[in-house]
Structure 1
Amino acid sequence: MPPEKHALLSASSASRWLKCTAAPRFEEGLPENTSEYAEEGRLAHAIGELKVLKKCTPMSTRTYNTRLNKLKKNPLYDPEMDKTTDLYLEHITEQVMDYDSAPTVAVEVRVDFSDYVPEGFGTCDCCIIGGDLLSITDYKHGKGVPVSAVGNPQMKLYALGALRRYAAVFGDTIKRVRMTIDQPRLDSYTTDEITVEELRAWGESIKPIAQRAFSGLGEFVPGDHCRFCRGKAQCRARAKVNTALEDFKDCVPAGSIPADALVPQEHSHTGAVTGEEVHPLLTDAEIGDLLERGAQLVQWYKDLEAYATEALLAGKEIPGWKLVAGRSNRTFTDQDAAIQAVIAAGYDEALVYDRKPKTLSELEKLMGKAEFAEKIGGFVTKPLGKPTLAPASDKREAYAPAASDFAGVKADA
């Protein structure tokens, strides 16, 4: 089971404190919230841990079943956890089989990377060591966004801690490190591999950054990494960045008005700050920049709404705002009794009930991915989705209008 306590500079939050070095001490004084999703993740981790232990270490079937049944009695247990942790175990088994001889396998390994990060420690979900290769895997149960293992600082810190932990046993025999993030619910499985020399050089490079973050002398740098910050709604630096969008308030996109109505270049005005000539129409480059900043603005506003709602529910006052009852739908207090009353009133049962098949996703969840693909995969087609705007860094291929004409069309056998 993942630990309750976290280091100030935890590996899981490294992507944040390596960029916003003021974040750790800023968050330290704020309450740490948990959620049902986090507790579900903890339970799934425990099930995955048990399955790997059963596969890779001595454990009687009776002990395994007893412990598994105990975990399944948790109110948060969902049968999907069995399927996702089975897939996790399959991936771990595949990694073990890649070694020339049986490697050492350990789960929920406490690691210390304080040689590089003050008081830094964490827990690896699974460590596999054999020959000259150390493999570490992190299981993520969430369905938010895929997290790549490539260049991932959390995984690098875990790897540095694992190297230190096993140095007494394996010495300098380990030359390579393979880092994997497994997200079964998102069909995401990514791996990155670097040399031990490269890993340690990276560790040395972040030492001064980690020291600034630990000492409380860091700087606020808002960005995508704010997503999991406990102070994301109250952060003044983040508010300043998002309200700076007012700089563009007098501009309009060039493509939003007819070509014959475009303002001539000679109608440019002088910028209030720079004193330079500024055309009232935004360039495409400025549009691209604003799209990126606007996405952060939308997320910031949602975070503000969430904070204000929680504060008002707790009895606090947010000047100018209040909570009201939202729209609700009617519902039966006892649906079965209501249906029986309708039938008793003389309505035919066939008129009362609708018979409809389960959805594709419901059937896949019922059967499991493997059986679903084997039995009815031939009846499934996936048309190309409608064009959606995404950052250039998105790993998906660029949308090709011509390809959409042929999406979902199967070639003749």
Structure 2
Amino acid sequence: MTSAPTTVASQPAHALLSASSSHRWLHCTPSARLEQQFPDSTSTFAAEGSLAHEIAELKLRKKFVEPIGPRTFSNRLKKLQENPLYQSEMLKHTDTYVDYISGIVHSFVQPPYVAVEKRIDYSAYVPEGFGTSDCIIIGGNVMHVIDLKYGTGVPVSAQQNTQMMLYALGALGAYGFLYPIETVKIAIVQPRRDSIGEWEISVADLLAWGESIKPIAAKAFAGEGEYIPGSHCKFCRAKAQCRARAEYNLQLDGFEKKMPPLITNDEVGAILAKAQDLAKWAEDLKEYALAECLKGNEIPGWKAVEGRGHRAFVDIDAAFATVKQAGYDEAMLYERKPLSVKGVEDLLGKAKFKELLNGYVNTPPGKPALAPVSDKRSAVTLKSNAAEDFS
């Protein structure tokens, strides 16, 4: 169960057709080249995710890949904990990830091969395609490809996940001649969303998919094809200025030609579908326009102004001491609030919470909300009966 880290000095940090952006360039082939005009910005959330990945990698290497003594492990972990973005909950969430992988490893009769943060090459299907897979486990005729998603904002499905399928193709290229792999099991672990998604595909079907995307990837690498707006625009660096997205959001597909004074339910559904991206696009435009104004560039009709500030004590201890000296009871300066259910669960841990408090928790139905038909939740209706009408 060993794996040596692979380094490729001649390659850039990220592939033009990266696996993580594959959902975008597979749908909108020119987008990858278009994005090159924009800086590759990062965020605090992304940096937090990178730190969590480093902690998880350290734990996995100690457990499955290389002998790391307690003192060395402690020193390496302490260095990571010195990062200003470190939060104590990272230890718990990375444990969830490590425990999941441990369960897979120990499910094999013979110790499987384990690779951690493995640089893989999928350029046989995508020009200059490469990336880094969080964890690969191979035993018998099964290969597991596992990814840690530390964020909380976007739920990620493992089913037909193109990022993971590209990683799997790269892993097959690296290990297929060494192991009789017939089945690939993909998993995405999102510990902060309490979610682990799994999906399985045969090697034959995976290879067929890889062949099917070759012409699409070739067009994407060349920057050719039609710009096609959609949900995949969300993380595109060109999303605010993309003309195809602007045109898509500024048209109503002939709704202005409808003669009756009231629109139909069919039209309501179609307009709502378009309005969802219209609202997101408007926010993207505002963010871009603000950045331009702050650079000193002109956006006709708009300017950057100072936002509303929020009052805060310069020295809260000194302020409260002054209030107490004026004769007010110190207890009046504080609020006592009980922790939420999630707060208590985080405090106790899921197992202890379930053991002690499971019988004290009730989850009533939530308030009805509108969702696309693709949402996994069941549809609900509010149908009154005669008894309710006359009660």
Q: Which residue of 2 aligns with 1:211?
A: 218
Quote the offset at 1:246 in angstroms. Answer: 7.6
Check the 8 A contact 2:150/2:190 in 1, yes or no. yes
Q: Which residue of 1 aligns with 2:153?
A: 144
Q: Does 1:23 align with 2:31?
A: yes
Q: Which residue of 2 aligns with 1:185?
A: 192
* Counterpart pick for 1:287 among 268, 274, 279: 268
Quote the offset at 1:91 in angstroms. Answer: 0.8
Check the 8 A contact 1:113/1:160 in 2, yes or no. yes
Identity, in percent, stands at: 53
- The alignment partner of 2:102 has SS state of helix
Offset from partner CA, 1:39-89 (integer Å, 9 cap, x none): 000000111111111221332222211111111111000111111101001
Q: Does 1:117 align with 2:98?
A: no
Separation in 2, partners of 1:401, 1:96: 48
* Counterpart pick for 2:372 among 366, 391, 397: 391
Separation in 1, partners of 2:125, 2:259: 48
Whose relative contact order is higher, 1 or 2, with alpha carbons under 8 Å and at least 6 apart? 2
Separation in 2, partners of 1:241, 1:195: 38
Q: Which residue of 2 aligns with 1:79?
A: 88
- The alignment partner of 2:143 has SS state of strand
Separation in 2, partners of 1:31, 1:208: 27
Offset from partner CA, 1:200-259 (integer Å, 9 cap, x none): 0000000000000001112200000000000100101000000013843x5xxxxxxxxx
Letter paired with 2:128 = E
Offset from partner CA, 1:168-221 (integer Å, 9 cap, x none): 422xx1011001111111112111111111000000000000000001112200
Separation in 2, partners of 1:15, 1:347: 60
Letter paired with 1:41 = G
Q: Which residue of 2 aligns with 1:232?
A: 239
Kindly report the root-mean-square deviation, in angstroms, between the aligned alpha carbons of the 2 structures. Answer: 2.0
Quote the offset at 1:366 in angstroms. Answer: 2.7
* Counterpart pick for 1:51 among 48, 55, 59: 59
Quote the offset at 1:401 in angstroms. Answer: 4.3
Letter paired with 2:273 = E
Letter paired with 2:64 = C
Q: Which residue of 2 aligns with 1:176?
A: 183
Q: Which residue of 2 aligns with 1:254?
A: none
Quote the offset at 1:367 in angstroms. Answer: 2.8
Check the 8 A contact 2:22/2:162 in 1, yes or no. yes
Offset from partner CA, 1:247-278 (integer Å, 9 cap, x none): 43x5xxxxxxxxxxxxxxxxxxxx4xxxxx74
- Equivalenced residue count is 375
Letter paired with 1:94 = G
Quote the offset at 1:350 in angstroms. Answer: 2.7
* Counterpart pick for 1:352 among 333, 354, 357: 333
Separation in 2, partners of 1:231, 1:292: 21
- Equivalences for 1:320-331 in 2 at 5 Å? 320-331=301-312
- Equivalences for 1:239-278 in 2 at 5 Å? 239-245=246-252, 247-248=254-255, 250=256, 271=257, 278=259
Check the 8 A contact 1:132/1:174 in 2, yes or no. yes
Offset from partner CA, 1:122-165 (integer Å, 9 cap, x none): 11000000100010001001111211010111111000000111
Letter paired with 2:93 = T
Which deviates the most, 318-327 or 210-219? 318-327
Quote the offset at 1:100 in angstroms. Answer: 2.8
Check the 8 A contact 2:292/2:298 in 1, yes or no. yes
5+ residue gaps in structure 2? Answer: 384-391
Check the 8 A contact 1:2/1:46 in 2, yes or no. no
Q: Does the C-alpha gap of structure 1 residues 315 and 376 become closer, same or farther in structure 2, counting only changes over 3 Å?
A: farther
Separation in 1, partners of 2:147, 2:181: 20
5+ residue gaps in structure 1? Answer: 251-270, 272-276, 403-413
Q: Which runs of 4+ in 1 moved over 4 A?
A: 1-4
Offset from partner CA, 1:380-408 (integer Å, 9 cap, x none): 22211100100001111223548xxxxxx
Give the TM-score of the pair, scaled to structure 1: 0.87
Give the TM-score of the pair, scaled to structure 2: 0.91
Q: Which residue of 2 aligns with 1:88?
A: 97
Check the 8 A contact 2:6/2:119 in 1, yes or no. no
Q: Does the C-alpha gap of structure 1 residues 371 and 310 become closer, same or farther in structure 2, counting only changes over 3 Å?
A: farther
Quote the offset at 1:284 in angstroms. Answer: 1.4
Q: Does 1:101 align with 2:110?
A: yes
Q: Does the C-alpha gap of structure 1 residues 2 and 149 become closer, same or farther in structure 2, counting only changes over 3 Å?
A: farther
